[in-house]
Amino acid sequence: MEISSAVTSLAALAHAGRLTVFRMLVQAGPEGLAAGVIAQRLSVPPSSLSANLNLLSNAGLIVSRREGRSIVYTARYDEMARLLGYLLDDCCDGSPEICRPLAERLSQAVHCFDSSNSASS
Amino acid sequence: MEISSAVTSLAALAHAGRLTVFRMLVQAGPEGLAAGVIAQRLSVPPSSLSANLNLLSNAGLIVSRREGRSIVYTARYDEMARLLGYLLDDCCDGSPEICRPLAERLSQAVHCFDSSNSASS
DNA sequence: TCCATATTTCGACGATATATGAAATCTGGA
DNA sequence: TCCAGATTTCATATATCGTCGAAATATGGA
């Protein structure tokens, strides 16, 4: 991943409204949420939300699809993986004991770490 | 983690210069790097670097200690873990097959995932 | 075709972030 | 005490971001 796209993604997330939206979409899964639903849940003007959804979309963190009259947004898990991977890539450089707690915190957050490791056995 | 501190940290990282510095410090490990060394490596004016180090420091992502005439900066791995954990916390909500690739990307980046999992066997 | 619904685009204002030279601060040593 | 080295603070100019009403666009159905 290029540093410029990492910066773009981080900037997109560095905003309370957008971060909230993004986490909502991450939670929502592949089905996603319509723009109107998000605007209602967050009590935010449609035009403001649209601008922020656009920013997240341009950063590659979410995608949209039309579904009837609504436009449904979905989180891009692959891009999220790339971004977090980029932040972590140079970690643990020769010091496993330092990033051990980090790894534990991550596996706590991503529950399928356990299953992805035990399921392969 | 509060959303406001997540936003502060993300904003601190959403800047090419600061992101580069942060990754340098993550690489450098607990020994850290003196401000002057960083400024020289990156060919950036000391005052600019100082402002950016200050931002990262206020966000809690790095810490400084005086060592002779130099001020040495170090990455805070614990805070990095908290931030990334916050971004991931709501992931995988009932859909392990979705975040599986994400988990694999992360374990690729953080090499001690393997050791932390295989060492316990 | 015409209307109601769902979202986006446009425009303009205020607020915030960035960069950097010059001066100030702090440290170690003679 | 005085000096040189290392870094920060200050002040200022510049550029970018965020918000939201009003108008424009796209869709589905009668």
pLDDT digits (tens, 9 = 90+) for A25-37: 998 988 999 999 9
3-state SS of chain B is CCHHHHHHHHHHHCCHHHHHHHHHHHHHHHHCEEHHHHHHHHCCCHHHHHHHHHHHHHCCCEEEEEECCEEEEEECHHHHHHHHHHHHCCCCCCCHHHHHHHHHHHHHHCCHHHHHHHCCC
A-chain residues near B5 (CB < 8 A): none
Which residues in range 8-67 of chain A are in contact with strand C, contact meaning CB within 7 A of any of its atoms? 34-37, 39, 46-47, 49-51, 53-54, 64
- Report the alpha-carbon distance of residue A80 to residue A49 in Å, rounded: 21
Nucleotide nearest to A34 (CA to C1'): C6
Residue A115: predicted pLDDT: 39
pLDDT on residue A50: 96
C-alpha–C-alpha distance, residues B103 and A114, integer Å:
9
Instruction: Band the pLDDT of A24: cuts 50, 70, 90.
Output: very high
Q: What is residue B108's predicted lDDT score, i.e. its pLDDT?
A: 81
Position A121 scores a pLDDT of: 31
| Least Cα separation, residue B70 to chain A (angstroms) | 24
Cα separations in angstroms, B4 against A82, B1, B14: 24, 8, 15
Residue A26 dihedral angles phi and psi, to the nearest 5°: -60, -40
Candidates B18, B25, B87: best to mutate against A (most CBs of A within 10 A) is: B87
Residues B9-28, mean pLDDT to the nearest whole number: 95
pTM: 0.89
pLDDT at A93 (0 to 100): 65
Q: Between the CA of residue B74 and those of A120, B51, B57, B112, what are the distances in Å?
A: 37, 16, 10, 20
Whether A6 and chain B come into contact, CB under 8 Å, resolves to yes
For residue B66, list its beta bridge partners.
B71
Nearest to A110 by CA among B104, B2, B80: B104
pLDDT digits (tens, 9 = 90+) for A73-115: 999 999 999 999 999 886 766 677 887 888 888 888 877 655 3
B73-114 confidence digits (pLDDT tens): 999 999 999 999 999 876 766 677 887 888 888 888 877 655
pLDDT in tens, B14-23: 999 999 999 9
Q: Is B1 touching A (CB cutoff 8 A)? A: no
What percentage of chain B reaches a pLDDT higher than 70? 88
Distances (CA, A) of A73 to A10, A45, A76: 19, 17, 10
Q: How far apart are alpha carbons B121 and B112 in whole angstroms?
A: 14
Mean pLDDT for chain A overall:
88
Q: What is the dihedral of CA B4, A24, B108, A121, to 10 degrees?
A: 130
pLDDT, residue B92, reads 67
